[in-house]
């Protein structure tokens, strides 16, 4: 939970930039049915500012699991790497969908580390994705591919 008041204009900007999806797991807010949170990508406890470039939209689970983490070990290389920065990095450069959208797979050390740290393939979410796929709601398209 943010210690600083986040103005409505910054909240709205995060909704627009992240298309009302969690910047980490890509789940749309309308599927969850609960308002998403605004995450300080670099936490306030680490001097992260309350500015657009440091704020993203996040579902409650991803935001809670992330907490104050900004880096963790890549499970493949065992090297400490930064977590995915959803404002400065493109999701589809670091992650891809596997099994028709059921699982998120890391394409880079940052992608793999973020998947592990935020548990982006947690069982409840994977099970929900199974239903969303059947309904035709998932996975989201890459807006940069044509």
Q: Give the list of residues 6+ apart from residue 63 with CB closer than 8 angstroms, or none.
A: 37, 39
Say if residue 139 is preceded by a cis peptide, omega within 30 of 0: yes
- Band (146; pLDDT cuts 50, 70, 90): very low
pLDDT for residue 144 is more than 70: no
User: Using 50, 70 and 90 to split pLDDT, how confident is the model at 128?
Assistant: very high
Of residues 87, 20, 81, the one with CA closest to residue 54: 87
Distance CA(137)–CA(116), nearest Å, equals: 24
Average pLDDT over residues 60-68: 97
Longest dimension (CA), the chain: 43
**pLDDT tier, 88 (very low <50, low <70, confident <90, very high otherwise):** very high
According to the model, what pLDDT value does residue 111 have?
98
- CA-to-CA separations, 134 to 26, 33, 59, in angstroms, rounded: 17, 18, 22
User: What tens digit of pLDDT does each residue of 4-29 get?
Assistant: 899 999 999 999 999 999 999 999 99
* Region label for 35, one of left (φ > 0), alpha (ψ between -120 and 50) or beta (otherwise): beta
């Amino acid at each position: 939970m943010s210690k600083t008041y986040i103005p409505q204009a910054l909240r709205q900007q995060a909704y627009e930039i992240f298309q009302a999806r969690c910047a980490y797991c890509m789940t749309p807010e309308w599927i969850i049915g609960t308002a998403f949170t605004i995450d300080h990508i670099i936490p306030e406890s680490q001097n992260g500012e309350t500015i657009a470039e440091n704020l993203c939209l996040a579902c409650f689970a991803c935001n809670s699991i992330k907490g104050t983490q900004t880096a963790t070990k890549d499970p493949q290389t065992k090297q400490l790497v930064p977590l995915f920065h959803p404002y400065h990095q493109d999701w589809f450069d670091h992650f891809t969908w596997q099994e028709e959208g059921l699982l998120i797979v890391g394409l880079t050390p940052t992608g793999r580390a973020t998947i592990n740290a935020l548990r982006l393939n947690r069982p409840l979410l994977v099970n929900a994705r199974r239903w969303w796929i059947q309904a035709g709601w998932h996975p989201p398209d890459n807006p940069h591919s044509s």
